């Protein structure tokens, strides 16, 4: 389990609830950097080059369109993150038991990565791809046609025009990103925690935040190409994975697959710390409540 409490006794429903709470908090607090990263990864408008500096992107959008524009597409991402991280923590915690060494009941770094990858695939199918598709389409649409009035309107419009497959546009890129990102993020975090336990390093808020931030750095550098492909696939009009890869190569060459790394790195370091710190805190609050309810019945 991921929790800093007695891991073996953390119930599945607690993992699900705590993961959902942590995911919602992380998505909302770090969204302006996610917005900037997505803008940079989308195809540039003719005659309007997109700056690489994330703070410049945020500043320009704020000056031209106001604060609300920086949170365009935030609602579907928050909802998706609640589902994504709830599922991700739930399945990672459950899958870890299946991946654990049968004799020692522990996970090697490779087994940690395997458990994280499996959890990432499940999260992509159940929550991540549709919410990321809506978020990206809304950010792209806001630059041009401005058709989408809200997250719900974007969802219904895409559904009417393309059916359920429209909501799963970019599924391959998203799943590759989620599988690898969850593997590296959850795997790195757990390897660090296991190491710290052998050195008797206290597990507190500062340690959890630091571990989450390191996991965020590793995740970003290893999975950035999948994130760029996903963003191109999930633009307002959408594109196949092959078309997305081709457009990136045409626009920027191989280096284009790491476009937006700086701003995503800033977000994942920040959000990784928040995610795991919020998860650990939520478990400590929810676990006793769940136990008391069970005791009553």
Q: Is 184 part of a structural domain of the chain?
A: yes
Range of weakest confidence among 60-69, 196-205, 264-273: 264-273
- Residue 257's φ and ψ, nearest 5 degrees, are -70, -10
The CA-CA-CA angle for residues 43, 170, 187, to 5°, reads 105
Mean pLDDT within 77-96: 80
For the residues 97-112, what does the mean pLDDT come to?
A: 75
**Is residue 68 included in any domain, yes or no?**
yes
Cβ-in-10-Å burial (0-12, 13-18, 19+) of 69 comes to middle
Query: Can you tell me the distance from the alpha carbon of 176 to that of 174, in angstroms, rounded to the nearest whole number?
Result: 5
Backbone angles phi, psi at 45, to 5 degrees: -75, 145
CA atoms within a 13 Å half-sphere pointing along the CA-CB vector of 285: 11
CB 250 within 8 A of CB 60: no
96 or 24: which carries more pLDDT confidence? 24
| Number of independent structural domains in the chain | 1
Domain with 172, as residue range(s), is 7-296
Tens digit of each residue's pLDDT (9 = 90 or more) over 140-175: 888 777 888 888 999 999 999 999 999 998 888 888
Q: Which two tokens stand for residue 153?
A: 């309107």
Computed over every residue of the chain, the mean pLDDT equals 82
- Beta carbons of 1 and 96 less than 8 angstroms apart: yes
- 48 by DSSP, 3-state: which? strand
Contact 222, 194 (CB under 8 A): no
φ and ψ at 273, to 5 degrees? -65, -45
Angle between helices 261-296 and 12-29 (to 10 degrees): 140
The terminus-to-terminus CA distance of the chain in angstroms comes to 26
Model confidence at 15, pLDDT cuts 50, 70, 90, reads: confident
Q: What is the secondary structure of 133-171 as a DSSP string?
A: HHHHHHHHHHHTT----SHHHHHHHHHHHH-HHHHTTTH
Q: What is the pLDDT of residues 189-236, one digit of tens each?
A: 888 988 898 888 988 888 988 998 898 888 888 888 888 888 888 877
Query: What proportion of the chain, given as a percentage, has pLDDT over 70?
Result: 91
46 domain-assigned: yes
Is there a domain that residue 1 lies in? no
Domain membership flag for residue 126:
yes
CB-based contact 248:256 (threshold 8 Å): yes
Q: Report the length, in residues, of the chain.
A: 297
Residue 2 domain flag = no
Asked whether the whole model's pTM tops 0.85, one would answer no
The tokens of 23 are what? 């995911």
Confidence band, pLDDT 50/70/90 cuts, at residue 253:
very high
- 3-class DSSP state for residue 11? coil
**In the numeric block, which tokens belong to residue 54?**
């994330």
Task: Answer whether residue 129 is part of any domain.
Answer: yes
CATH classification at residue 75: 1.50.40.10
What whole-number distance in Å separates Cα of residue 102 and Cα of residue 116?
Answer: 18
Task: Report d(CA 141, CA 159) in Å as an integer.
Answer: 16
The answer to whether residue 17 is domain-embedded is yes
């Amino acid at each position: 389990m991921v929790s800093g409490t007695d891991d073996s006794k953390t119930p599945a429903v607690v993992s699900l609830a705590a993961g959902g709470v942590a995911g919602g908090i992380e998505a909302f607090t770090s969204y302006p950097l996610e917005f900037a990263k997505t803008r940079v990864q989308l195809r540039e408008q003719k005659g309007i080059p997109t700056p690489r500096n994330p703070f410049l992107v945020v500043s320009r959008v704020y000056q031209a369109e106001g604060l609300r524009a920086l949170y365009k597409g935030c609602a579907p991402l928050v909802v998706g993150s609640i589902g994504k991280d709830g599922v991700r923590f739930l399945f990672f915690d459950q899958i870890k038991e299946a991946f654990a060494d049968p004799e020692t009941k522990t996970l090697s770094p490779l087994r940690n990565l395997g458990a994280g990858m499996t959890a990432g695939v499940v999260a992509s199918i159940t929550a991540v791809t549709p919410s990321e598709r809506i978020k990206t389409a809304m950010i792209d649409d806001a630059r041009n046609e401005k058709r989408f009035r809200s997250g719900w309107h974007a969802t219904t419009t895409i559904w009417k025009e393309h059916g359920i497959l429209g909501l799963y546009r970019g599924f391959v890129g998203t799943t590759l990103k989620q599988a690898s990102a969850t593997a590296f993020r959850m795997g790195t975090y757990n390897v660090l925690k296991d190491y710290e336990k052998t050195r008797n390093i206290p597990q507190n808020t500062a340690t959890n935040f630091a571990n989450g931030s390191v996991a965020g750095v590793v995740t970003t550098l290893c999975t950035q190409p999948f994130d760029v492909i996903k963003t191109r696939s999930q633009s307002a009009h959408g594109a196949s994975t092959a078309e997305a890869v081709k457009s990136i190569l045409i626009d920027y060459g191989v280096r284009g697959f790491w476009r937006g790394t700086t701003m995503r790195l800033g977000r994942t370091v920040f959000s990784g710390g928040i995610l795991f710190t919020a998860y650990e805190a939520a478990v400590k609050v929810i676990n006793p409540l769940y136990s008391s309810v069970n005791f009553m019945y």
